[in-house]
Amino acid sequence: MNFQPYRSPSTGRPVRAVLFDTFGTVVDWRTGVAREVAAFAAAHGHTLDADAFADHWRALYQPAMDAIRSGQRGFTKLDTLHRENLDAALRHHGINPDQFSRETLEELNKSWHRLPPWPDSVEGLAAIRRHYIVGPLSNGNTSLLLDMARDAGLPWDVIIGSDMTGTYKPLPQAYLRTAEFLDLEPGEVMLAAAHNSDLQAAREAGLATAFVARPTEHGPGQAVDLAPEGDWNLVASSIPGLADRLGA
């Protein structure tokens, strides 16, 4: 085979695995969550702004992980954090979560397992997979990422959930332990992400980096991550575009 893998100038090594941030980069969490929240609210006779609810639920994500990153709290998987934050988001919207059964709330919590891919994701991942290992590098837990992959048809080779590394991005061990499971040097792994801060942390851990723009992740008025803010190895406006730049 004459294929020459992309060689990162910053690491000097051929890239063997292209790993993807998932929420926002591969799947459209805002649309997916808002759709399920709207259906939930309608079914239970509540009125709410489903987009705002999705944004609020998502906004509680980083502070919940911060407690774990700082060591204040032991590793707790994302499904559990989402479930706790769901109670908080419901209360914030004036809805008492105690009126619902445990099963009803768990079902709504699983909306994070059923997020729609961006229209180009499946095709782009399949193209890259022909020449590189592809997988998520996400703060999601394994079962969440697995359900998402089966539901959305994401053709991952391997799923290394945050419950396997036992830590959350952007801590360096999240990137380094993932490379270790793959038996690759950090420079043989590329992170593809729509978030500059994630790429910065990946670069500091020694990974190659690719920015994939997702200018409507946060809805029509998005003000962050519209463009690359670092000298990332590759920049693309879609995953098939990234495949092209990787020669895949």
Binding interface with a second copy (CB under 8 A):
79, 133, 141-143, 146, 149-150, 157-161, 163-164, 181-184
CB 44 to a second copy: min, Å: 25
CB 103 to a second copy: min, Å: 15
* Cβ-based nearer residue to a second copy, 79 or 198: 79
The residue with tokens 């539901």 is 151
CA dist 159 and 162 (Å) reads: 10
* Cβ-based nearer residue to a second copy, 14 or 228: 14
CB 84 to a second copy: min, Å: 16
* Cβ-based nearer residue to a second copy, 86 or 149: 149
* Cβ-based nearer residue to a second copy, 68 or 199: 68
* Cβ-based nearer residue to a second copy, 98 or 183: 183
CB 143 to a second copy: min, Å: 4
CB 216 to a second copy: min, Å: 29
CA dist 62 and 170 (Å) reads: 11
Going from the C-alpha of 121 to that of each of 7, 124, 131, 146, 212, the distances in angstroms are 23, 5, 16, 16, 11
Strand partners, 212: 236
In the numeric block, which tokens belong to residue 217? 């992740």
Length of the chain: 248
CA dist 67 and 211 (Å) reads: 28
CB 222 to a second copy: min, Å: 32
CA dist 61 and 41 (Å) reads: 21
CB 25 to a second copy: min, Å: 20
Secondary structure element (H or E) that encloses residue 235, with its range: strand 234-236
Cα angle at 12 between 11 and 17, to 5 degrees?
70
* CA nearest neighbour of 64 among 116, 6, 103, 112: 112
In the numeric block, which tokens belong to residue 200? 């910065």
* Cβ-based nearer residue to a second copy, 149 or 192: 149
* Cβ-based nearer residue to a second copy, 133 or 199: 133
